[in-house]
Amino acid sequence: MAYYQAYNVDFKKLGLQTMYEHWRKAKHNGWIKAVLQPLVTLYSLFVIYRNTQRYKLQITPQVCFLEKALNDKYDVELRRIYIDEPPEKQAIPLYRKTEAKKQVLYRKSEATELVLYRKNETSVFSVDFLIVIPVSIAIDMPELRAYVDSYKLVTKTYTVQFI
């Protein structure tokens, strides 16, 4: 905790305390405060920057922290944005006649439902997570993608789903 106290500096008070005692009058106090005003402004900008960087360092690629960051940025009050796993669909391989492997396909009359999925819809080629966002939240997609990409792991893929 002592480390964080090092950044708590009251420059106006410090400027007045370092003056000679016989100069501590209203005229000199005003002059010292005016001289220190640019430093006080820079210090307040530094504190704001430091707090935003500390917040960014607290966010990790873990699901709970990524949800927290998204809700803090886009849905502060209701916190309706969440991260979900994508539905898994098993791939059904199709073989060529030359491979001589048995393929089981059904007719519509047999009432057995066999759904063939595209390559990108199966669990092997699927995304790693879904970001579920209510439609009522106005979001700029390139900004959202840049924000999520800055926190997620490089190897993870995702899609955004609006409900």
Place of tokens 């048995």: 102
CA angle centred on 59, ends 55 and 62, rounded to 5°: 165
* pLDDT at position 1 over 50: no
* pTM greater than 0.95 (yes/no): no
| Residues pairing with 83 in the sheet | 131
* pLDDT at position 79 over 70: yes
Query: Given this model, what pLDDT does residue 122 score?
Result: 67
Segment 107-148, tens digit of pLDDT: 777 777 666 777 666 666 678 999 999 999 999 999 999 999
Segment 5-59, tens digit of pLDDT: 778 888 988 888 888 888 888 888 889 899 999 999 999 999 999 999 999 999 9
Q: Measured between alpha carbons, how far is 50 from 58 in angstroms, rounded to an integer?
A: 12
The Cβ of residue 133 has, within 10 Å, a number of other Cβ atoms equal to 19
Query: Given this model, what pLDDT does residue 89 score?
Result: 72
Q: What percent of the chain has pLDDT over 70?
A: 90
* pLDDT at position 90 over 90: no
Task: Specify the higher pLDDT residue, 44 or 104.
Answer: 44
DSSP the chain: -HHHHTT---HHHHHHHTS-GGG-SHHHHHHHHHHHHHHHHHHHHHHHHHHHHHHHHH--SSHHHHHHHHHHHH-TTT---EEEPPPP--------GGGT-------GGGT---PPPPGGGSSSS--SEEEEE-TTS---HHHHHHHHHHHS-TT--EEEEE-
